[in-house]
Amino acid sequence: MTLQQQIIERLGVKPIIDPAAEIRKRVDFLKKYVLESGTTGLLIAISGGIDSAVATGLCKMATDELSEETDKEYLTLGVFQPYASQHDIADSYAVATAFDLKYKTETNIGEAVDEIALEVEHSFKSLGIPRHISRGGKGNVKARTRMVMQYALAFDLNLLVVGTDHASEAITGFYTKWGDGAVDITPLASLNKRQVRQLASHIGVPQSVLDKAPSAGLWDGQTDEDELGITYGDNSDYLEGKGIAPEVREKLEKQYLKTEHKRSGIPGI
Protein backbone atom coordinates (compact mmCIF):
# COMPACT_ATOMS: atom_id res chain seq x y z
CA MET A 1 0.00 0.00 0.00
CA THR A 2 1.39 3.38 -0.98
CA LEU A 3 1.65 6.26 1.48
CA GLN A 4 -1.13 7.99 -0.45
CA GLN A 5 -3.41 4.98 0.03
CA GLN A 6 -2.54 4.78 3.73
CA ILE A 7 -3.36 8.46 4.23
CA ILE A 8 -6.68 8.19 2.38
CA GLU A 9 -7.68 5.14 4.41
CA ARG A 10 -6.66 6.76 7.69
CA LEU A 11 -8.55 10.00 7.02
CA GLY A 12 -11.57 8.25 5.51
CA VAL A 13 -11.89 10.40 2.39
CA LYS A 14 -14.12 9.15 -0.44
CA PRO A 15 -13.13 9.80 -4.07
CA ILE A 16 -16.67 10.98 -4.91
CA ILE A 17 -19.45 12.14 -2.61
CA ASP A 18 -23.19 12.77 -2.78
CA PRO A 19 -23.50 16.14 -0.99
CA ALA A 20 -27.11 15.59 0.12
CA ALA A 21 -26.27 12.16 1.57
CA GLU A 22 -23.18 13.54 3.32
CA ILE A 23 -25.20 16.38 4.87
CA ARG A 24 -27.81 13.91 6.13
CA LYS A 25 -25.17 11.60 7.58
CA ARG A 26 -23.37 14.42 9.39
CA VAL A 27 -26.54 15.99 10.78
CA ASP A 28 -27.56 12.59 12.17
CA PHE A 29 -24.06 12.18 13.63
CA LEU A 30 -24.39 15.50 15.47
CA LYS A 31 -27.89 14.71 16.73
CA LYS A 32 -26.88 11.31 18.07
CA TYR A 33 -23.88 12.70 19.96
CA VAL A 34 -25.85 15.58 21.48
CA LEU A 35 -28.42 13.12 22.82
CA GLU A 36 -25.81 10.66 24.08
CA SER A 37 -23.80 13.40 25.80
CA GLY A 38 -26.80 14.88 27.60
CA THR A 39 -25.95 18.36 26.36
CA THR A 40 -28.36 21.06 25.26
CA GLY A 41 -26.86 21.90 21.89
CA LEU A 42 -23.83 22.96 19.92
CA LEU A 43 -21.40 25.88 19.88
CA ILE A 44 -19.72 26.85 16.63
CA ALA A 45 -17.22 29.67 16.12
CA ILE A 46 -18.11 31.41 12.86
CA SER A 47 -14.95 32.80 11.29
CA GLY A 48 -16.47 33.98 8.03
CA GLY A 49 -14.78 31.15 6.12
CA ILE A 50 -16.32 28.23 4.27
CA ASP A 51 -15.49 25.50 6.81
CA SER A 52 -17.19 27.14 9.77
CA ALA A 53 -20.09 28.18 7.52
CA VAL A 54 -20.77 24.57 6.51
CA ALA A 55 -20.41 23.42 10.12
CA THR A 56 -22.88 26.11 11.19
CA GLY A 57 -25.44 24.90 8.69
CA LEU A 58 -25.07 21.30 9.86
CA CYS A 59 -25.34 22.31 13.52
CA LYS A 60 -28.47 24.38 12.97
CA MET A 61 -30.16 21.57 11.06
CA ALA A 62 -29.27 19.13 13.84
CA THR A 63 -30.55 21.25 16.73
CA ASP A 64 -33.71 22.30 14.85
CA GLU A 65 -34.54 18.66 14.19
CA LEU A 66 -33.82 17.66 17.79
CA SER A 67 -36.06 20.45 19.09
CA GLU A 68 -38.90 19.34 16.82
CA GLU A 69 -38.47 15.64 17.58
CA THR A 70 -38.18 15.95 21.39
CA ASP A 71 -40.36 18.99 22.13
CA LYS A 72 -37.38 20.41 24.05
CA GLU A 73 -35.23 23.31 22.89
CA TYR A 74 -31.78 22.43 21.59
CA LEU A 75 -29.71 25.40 20.48
CA THR A 76 -26.87 26.26 18.14
CA LEU A 77 -24.79 29.11 19.52
CA GLY A 78 -22.78 31.02 16.91
CA VAL A 79 -19.72 32.81 18.28
CA PHE A 80 -17.85 35.59 16.46
CA GLN A 81 -14.26 36.03 17.65
CA PRO A 82 -12.43 39.00 16.10
CA TYR A 83 -8.96 40.04 17.16
CA ALA A 84 -9.60 43.75 17.89
CA SER A 85 -11.27 44.30 14.50
CA GLN A 86 -11.95 41.89 11.65
CA HIS A 87 -12.23 43.26 8.13
CA ASP A 88 -14.55 40.49 6.96
CA ILE A 89 -16.70 40.04 10.07
CA ALA A 90 -19.74 40.90 7.95
CA ASP A 91 -19.29 37.46 6.37
CA SER A 92 -19.55 35.83 9.81
CA TYR A 93 -22.80 37.65 10.48
CA ALA A 94 -24.04 36.79 6.98
CA VAL A 95 -23.59 33.09 7.79
CA ALA A 96 -25.60 33.49 11.00
CA THR A 97 -28.34 35.22 9.04
CA ALA A 98 -28.33 32.63 6.25
CA PHE A 99 -28.96 29.85 8.75
CA ASP A 100 -31.33 31.89 10.91
CA LEU A 101 -29.36 31.57 14.13
CA LYS A 102 -31.41 32.67 17.12
CA TYR A 103 -28.43 32.58 19.47
CA LYS A 104 -25.19 34.40 18.62
CA THR A 105 -22.57 36.41 20.49
CA GLU A 106 -19.24 38.14 19.95
CA THR A 107 -16.18 37.55 22.12
CA ASN A 108 -13.34 39.84 21.12
CA ILE A 109 -9.96 38.20 21.79
CA GLY A 110 -7.85 41.32 21.22
CA GLU A 111 -7.03 42.43 24.77
CA ALA A 112 -6.60 38.87 26.07
CA VAL A 113 -4.17 37.92 23.29
CA ASP A 114 -2.14 41.10 23.69
CA GLU A 115 -1.83 40.54 27.43
CA ILE A 116 -0.68 36.96 26.92
CA ALA A 117 1.85 38.08 24.31
CA LEU A 118 3.16 40.74 26.68
CA GLU A 119 3.63 38.19 29.48
CA VAL A 120 5.48 35.88 27.09
CA GLU A 121 7.80 38.73 26.13
CA HIS A 122 8.45 39.45 29.84
CA SER A 123 9.40 35.78 30.18
CA PHE A 124 11.82 36.03 27.26
CA LYS A 125 13.41 39.05 28.93
CA SER A 126 13.79 37.24 32.25
CA LEU A 127 15.58 34.43 30.40
CA GLY A 128 18.10 36.91 29.02
CA ILE A 129 16.76 36.69 25.47
CA PRO A 130 14.72 39.88 25.05
CA ARG A 131 12.59 39.63 21.93
CA HIS A 132 9.05 39.94 20.66
CA ILE A 133 6.79 36.94 20.35
CA SER A 134 6.94 35.62 16.79
CA ARG A 135 4.14 36.16 14.31
CA GLY A 136 3.44 32.43 14.25
CA GLY A 137 3.59 32.21 18.04
CA LYS A 138 1.06 35.00 18.41
CA GLY A 139 -1.10 33.32 15.76
CA ASN A 140 -1.22 30.20 17.92
CA VAL A 141 -2.13 32.31 20.95
CA LYS A 142 -5.05 33.72 18.98
CA ALA A 143 -6.26 30.24 18.05
CA ARG A 144 -6.01 28.90 21.59
CA THR A 145 -7.54 32.00 23.18
CA ARG A 146 -10.54 31.57 20.92
CA MET A 147 -10.90 28.01 22.19
CA VAL A 148 -10.63 29.11 25.84
CA MET A 149 -13.53 31.50 25.29
CA GLN A 150 -15.58 28.89 23.45
CA TYR A 151 -15.17 26.40 26.27
CA ALA A 152 -15.99 28.99 28.93
CA LEU A 153 -19.31 29.58 27.18
CA ALA A 154 -19.94 25.91 26.42
CA PHE A 155 -19.26 24.75 30.00
CA ASP A 156 -21.88 26.97 31.61
CA LEU A 157 -24.42 26.55 28.80
CA ASN A 158 -23.93 22.75 28.58
CA LEU A 159 -23.00 22.79 24.90
CA LEU A 160 -20.62 20.76 22.76
CA VAL A 161 -17.83 22.69 21.01
CA VAL A 162 -17.84 21.89 17.30
CA GLY A 163 -14.57 21.81 15.36
CA THR A 164 -14.19 22.62 11.69
CA ASP A 165 -11.14 20.41 11.02
CA HIS A 166 -11.28 18.37 7.82
CA ALA A 167 -9.02 15.97 5.97
CA SER A 168 -7.28 18.64 3.88
CA GLU A 169 -6.13 20.27 7.13
CA ALA A 170 -5.30 16.95 8.77
CA ILE A 171 -2.96 15.82 5.98
CA THR A 172 -0.88 18.99 6.32
CA GLY A 173 -1.18 19.31 10.09
CA PHE A 174 -2.43 22.84 9.49
CA TYR A 175 -3.80 23.37 12.97
CA THR A 176 -2.48 23.44 16.50
CA LYS A 177 -2.75 20.10 18.27
CA TRP A 178 -6.28 18.80 18.64
CA GLY A 179 -7.77 21.41 16.36
CA ASP A 180 -6.55 24.68 17.87
CA GLY A 181 -6.70 23.40 21.43
CA ALA A 182 -9.32 20.62 21.47
CA VAL A 183 -12.93 20.39 20.39
CA ASP A 184 -15.72 17.94 21.21
CA ILE A 185 -16.87 16.84 17.78
CA THR A 186 -15.71 17.28 14.17
CA PRO A 187 -18.50 16.78 11.61
CA LEU A 188 -16.27 17.61 8.61
CA ALA A 189 -13.37 15.29 9.49
CA SER A 190 -13.51 12.89 6.52
CA LEU A 191 -14.09 15.53 3.84
CA ASN A 192 -11.42 17.25 1.79
CA LYS A 193 -11.60 20.96 1.01
CA ARG A 194 -13.28 20.41 -2.37
CA GLN A 195 -15.95 18.29 -0.74
CA VAL A 196 -16.55 20.88 1.99
CA ARG A 197 -17.15 23.34 -0.84
CA GLN A 198 -19.62 20.91 -2.44
CA LEU A 199 -21.59 20.76 0.81
CA ALA A 200 -21.41 24.55 1.07
CA SER A 201 -23.06 25.01 -2.33
CA HIS A 202 -25.75 22.48 -1.41
CA ILE A 203 -26.52 23.78 2.08
CA GLY A 204 -26.85 27.47 1.26
CA VAL A 205 -23.61 29.16 2.35
CA PRO A 206 -23.57 32.86 1.30
CA GLN A 207 -21.79 33.61 -1.98
CA SER A 208 -19.45 36.12 -0.32
CA VAL A 209 -18.07 33.26 1.78
CA LEU A 210 -17.82 30.87 -1.16
CA ASP A 211 -15.73 33.41 -3.06
CA LYS A 212 -13.07 33.91 -0.35
CA ALA A 213 -9.51 32.56 -0.32
CA PRO A 214 -9.09 30.04 2.55
CA SER A 215 -7.40 31.58 5.58
CA ALA A 216 -6.95 30.71 9.25
CA GLY A 217 -7.07 34.42 10.06
CA LEU A 218 -3.85 34.34 12.04
CA TRP A 219 -2.50 37.64 10.66
CA ASP A 220 -3.42 40.18 8.00
CA GLY A 221 -3.12 38.79 4.49
CA GLN A 222 -2.47 35.22 5.62
CA THR A 223 -3.81 32.50 3.31
CA ASP A 224 -3.53 28.75 3.75
CA GLU A 225 -2.25 28.06 0.25
CA ASP A 226 0.48 30.73 0.35
CA GLU A 227 1.67 29.57 3.74
CA LEU A 228 1.80 25.89 2.82
CA GLY A 229 2.88 26.30 -0.79
CA ILE A 230 0.30 23.67 -1.78
CA THR A 231 -3.03 24.42 -3.42
CA TYR A 232 -6.24 22.94 -2.08
CA GLY A 233 -6.88 21.63 -5.59
CA ASP A 234 -3.75 19.45 -5.43
CA ASN A 235 -4.47 18.58 -1.80
CA SER A 236 -8.00 17.42 -2.66
CA ASP A 237 -6.86 15.53 -5.76
CA TYR A 238 -4.33 13.64 -3.66
CA LEU A 239 -6.95 12.72 -1.05
CA GLU A 240 -9.28 11.48 -3.79
CA GLY A 241 -6.58 9.09 -5.02
CA LYS A 242 -5.66 11.07 -8.12
CA GLY A 243 -2.18 11.73 -9.44
CA ILE A 244 -0.55 15.12 -8.89
CA ALA A 245 2.79 16.59 -9.96
CA PRO A 246 5.67 14.61 -8.37
CA GLU A 247 7.20 17.69 -6.73
CA VAL A 248 3.84 18.65 -5.16
CA ARG A 249 3.24 15.07 -4.02
CA GLU A 250 6.66 15.04 -2.36
CA LYS A 251 6.01 18.33 -0.58
CA LEU A 252 2.57 17.18 0.62
CA GLU A 253 3.84 13.84 1.91
CA LYS A 254 6.79 15.50 3.67
CA GLN A 255 4.34 17.87 5.35
CA TYR A 256 2.20 14.90 6.43
CA LEU A 257 5.14 13.03 7.94
CA LYS A 258 6.53 16.15 9.63
CA THR A 259 3.22 16.87 11.38
CA GLU A 260 2.38 13.36 12.59
CA HIS A 261 2.54 14.50 16.23
CA LYS A 262 -0.48 16.74 15.61
CA ARG A 263 -2.68 13.81 14.53
CA SER A 264 -1.43 11.34 17.14
CA GLY A 265 -2.54 10.88 20.71
CA ILE A 266 -0.58 12.45 23.54
CA PRO A 267 2.25 10.00 24.31
CA GLY A 268 2.80 8.67 27.80
CA ILE A 269 4.81 6.04 29.63
Catalytic residue numbers, as ranges: 51, 169
Residue 218 forms beta bridges with which residues?
A: none
CB 32 within 8 A of CB 211: no
What is the end-to-end Cα distance of the chain in Å, rounded?
Answer: 31
Rounded Cα distance, 263 and 43, in Å: 23
CB 103 within 8 A of CB 75: yes
Rounded Cα distance, 169 and 188, in Å: 11
Rounded Cα distance, 216 and 219, in Å: 8
Rounded Cα distance, 74 and 11, in Å: 30
Residue 223 CB neighbour total at 10 angstroms: 12
Amino acid found at 57: G
